[in-house]
Amino acid sequence: MLSMVPSILLALALASFVCADLGAYIPLLAPYAATVSPTLISLSIEQDNWIQWAGTTSPNTFFYNALDNLRQLGGERLWIRIGADSEDHTNYNPNIQYSEDVFPAYTNTTPYPEATNITVGYDYYGLIAHLPAGTRVWWGVNLGRYNLTAAYLESQALLTAFASPPVVAQGTTLEYIEIGNEADLYSNNGARNSSWNPIEYTREWIEFATNISDSFDLYGRTYPKLIGGAFANSAFSSSGFSPQAIIGAGILNSAPGSLIRTVSQHHYSGSFCQGSGGLLQNLMLKSTIRTNVFQFAPDIAVVRSYGLDYVFGETNSYACHGAPGVSNTAGAAIWTLDYSLYASQVGISRLHFHEGIGYKYNLIQPVALDRSIIDGSALATPIPAHVQPQYYSAIIATEAIGSSGNAQVLELQFDDPWTSGYAFYEWGVLRRALIINSQAYLNGTTTPRNTTHVDVNFIGHQLGGPTEMQIKRLNISYADATSGLTWGGQTYETNDARVSGILSVQTVPVSTGVDVHETEVVMLSFIA
DSSP 116-151: SEEEE-HHHHHGGGGSPTT-EEEEEE--TT--HHHH
Cα distance between the two ends of the chain: 35
Q: Considering the domain delimited by 2-34+406-527, tell me its CATH architecture.
A: Sandwich (2.60)
Of the listed ranges 16-30, 336-350, 357-371, 382-396, the least confidently predicted one is 16-30
pLDDT at res. 69: 98
Q: What is the pLDDT of residues 288-302, one digit of tens each?
A: 999 999 999 999 999
Share in percent of the chain as helix, strand, coil (round to 5) = 30, 30, 40
Query: What are the pLDDT digits (tens) for 231-252?
Result: 999 999 988 999 999 999 999 9
CB 337 within 8 A of CB 393: yes
Mean pLDDT, the chain, rounded, equals 93
Report pLDDT for 10: 34
In the prediction, which pLDDT does 460 show?
Answer: 83
> DSSP character for 15?
T
Q: Give the Cβ contact number of residue 361 at 10 Å.
A: 27
Instruction: Round to whole Å and give the CA distance between 15 and 469.
Output: 26
Q: How confident is the model at residue 277 (pLDDT cuts 50, 70, 90)?
A: low
SS (H, E, C) 174-222: EEEEEECCCHHHHHHHCCCCCCCCHHHHHHHHHHHHHHHHHHCCHHHCC
pLDDT at 417 over 70: yes
Domain ranges, ordered by start, for the chain: 2-34+406-527, 38-401
Amino acid identity, position 64? Y
Contact between 360 and 373 (Cβ < 8 Å): yes
DSSP 491: B
Question: Right CATH number for 38-401 from 3.30.70.20, 3.90.1150.10, 3.20.20.80, 3.40.50.720?
Answer: 3.20.20.80
* pLDDT at 193 (0 to 100): 96
Q: Do domains 2-34+406-527 and 38-401 have the same CATH topology?
A: no
Per-residue confidence (pLDDT) for residue 271, from 0 to 100: 81
pLDDT per residue as tens digits for the range 79-106: 999 999 999 999 999 999 999 999 999 9
Q: Which 3 state secondary structure label does DSSP give 253? A: coil
pLDDT one-digit tens code per residue, 442-486: 999 989 999 999 999 999 866 678 999 999 999 999 999 999 999
State how far the Cα of 241 lies from the Cα of 237, in Å rounded to an integer: 8
- pLDDT band at 11, cuts 50/70/90? very low
| pLDDT confidence of residue 276 | 66
pTM of the model: 0.95
Q: Is the pLDDT of residue 1 over 70?
A: no
Residue 9, pLDDT > 80, answer no
